[in-house]
Amino acid sequence: MRVRGPTTWQVALFAVVVGGVVGVGTAALDAALRPWQIGGFRPGGPTAGDRGPRAEAVETVHAFGTIGAGATGRHTFTIRNTGSGPLTLTRGASSCSCTIGDLGGADGPAADARVLVPSGSSAPVTVQWTGKGGGGPFRQQVTILTDDPRRPEIPLVVEGTVVPTWKAVPEAVVLPGITAAAGASAAATVFTFGATPPTVTAATIDGADADRWFRVSTAPLDAAAIAGETGATGGFRVDVEVKPGLPLGRLRRLITVTFDMQEEVTAEIPLEGAVGGDLVLAGPAWDTTRQALMLGTVSSRVGLTTTLFITAKGPHAADVRPTVREVVPDALAVTVGDAAPVGGGRSRRIPLEIAIAPGSRGVNHLCSESGPPGRIVVDTGHPDTPTLTIPVCVAIGP
């Protein structure tokens, strides 16, 4: 007997029927084992991720406007926990040493580095910064670390502009053409930047002899002068008078003005120049830039000899007859030589022979912090420059 197999159409129909039954069964089993979901709604309660903390920041950037250089600003950010579990905040790194983030707010402990925020609560984060430099844009960042896996870090940014607390125009008072006979005067303007106008409490020039040779005074600026400097809110003028008779040589002093702007502020302005006249110094060891006799370090075994020349010119040249009044250190031996006419007889040059004898005791007058300068003080006989003080930079060693 011949057995006939199923036709192609019969096989295909059988496969469709079996596949449908298996598919329906699988779907039913899956529906029984897994809760059904429609769109974003998932019945059956929150998952473990939904039960965790959720960090939300009300703001992350604070524009503070302007702040004076050296002044301190403070702003409090707020971080909320909108999750269902407790949120842990940890103080992270800051982009600058002048920016500090403290957890617990302005009144909280400054050392707080970690805080726990319950569900539905918030925590303040206080950021404090100090204006650095002479002025310009300021942008710094503090990072707060969280245990929210969705937002492990929250950067908090403060930005604005730093303006100088004060600014001197010009930055230094320069007197290039002072003469011992005539003296001189100069001025500088100090602009201030802050909510409170400055009140000057003191104005001085350094040096024990300052009162003898200088007079310093101040006066407030008017509104028009203040408006001429961008951002300035106040200011004052500093006037310096150099009295006649100032010793010849390089002038380098420091003007110090103290003023009140809710807190005490000190402004320091260099005073520079050179005092000239009918007496001029020259010689192999004379430094015209430093206006000092640079002898350096001298060995006590060898000693030293050099010559410094005083050239006298002008109508009183013949009156100049130097005599040595004082020397520091006392190892310096100074001998005044005979005057010789120069420049067709219109000027006279007088040599000062300077010697350090072998065996002299050790000293340090190298014109440094640890070794103040020595000096040679000469009475000249000139009516405009009766006394000439010559700085000496020298050390005597083995």
Identify the pLDDT of residue 360.
Answer: 95
Average pLDDT, the chain: 83
Looking at 105, 129, 163, which one is the last position of a domain?
163
Counted domains in the chain: 3
Report field, pTM of the whole predicted structure over 0.95 = no
Give whichever of 92-101, 353-362, 379-388 has the largest mean pLDDT.
353-362
Are 142 and 224 members of one domain? no
Q: 243 and 138, same structural domain? A: no
- 202 and 270 both lie in a single domain: yes
Exposure class string for 342-365: b at 16+ Cβ within 10 A, else e: eeeeebbbbbbebebeeebeebbb
Residues 252 and 174 in one domain: yes
CB 364 within 8 A of CB 395: yes
Q: Tell whether the model's pLDDT for residue 107 goes beyond 90.
A: no
What phi and psi, each to the nearest 5 degrees, are found at residue 266? -120, 125
Domain termination residue (choose one: 148, 163, 178): 163
Q: pLDDT digit string (tens) for 313-324?
A: 988 899 999 999
- Same structural domain for residues 156 and 170? no
Q: Give the number of other Cβ atoms within 10 Å of residue 385's Cβ.
A: 25
How confident is the model over 236-249, as a mean pLDDT? 87
Range of the domain at 219: 166-275
Looking at the domain assignment, is residue 303 inside a domain? yes
The structure tokens 């896996």 sit at 149
Which of 131, 163, 195 terminates a domain? The answer is 163
* Whether residues 132 and 211 fall in one domain: no
In this prediction, residue 257 carries a pLDDT of: 96
> Would residue 48 count as lying in a domain?
no
| Between 203 and 108, residue with greater pLDDT | 203
Is the pLDDT score of 378 beyond 60? yes
Higher pLDDT, 133 or 362: 362
| Residue 97, helix vs strand vs coil | coil
Distant-in-sequence contacts of 182-186, Cβ < 8 A, 24+ apart: 182/244, 183/241, 183/242, 183/243, 183/244, 183/245, 183/246, 184/241, 184/242, 184/273, 185/239, 185/240, 185/241, 185/242, 186/239, 186/240, 186/242, 186/271
Q: What is the pLDDT of residues 50-78, one digit of tens each?
A: 578 999 998 999 998 877 777 788 899 99
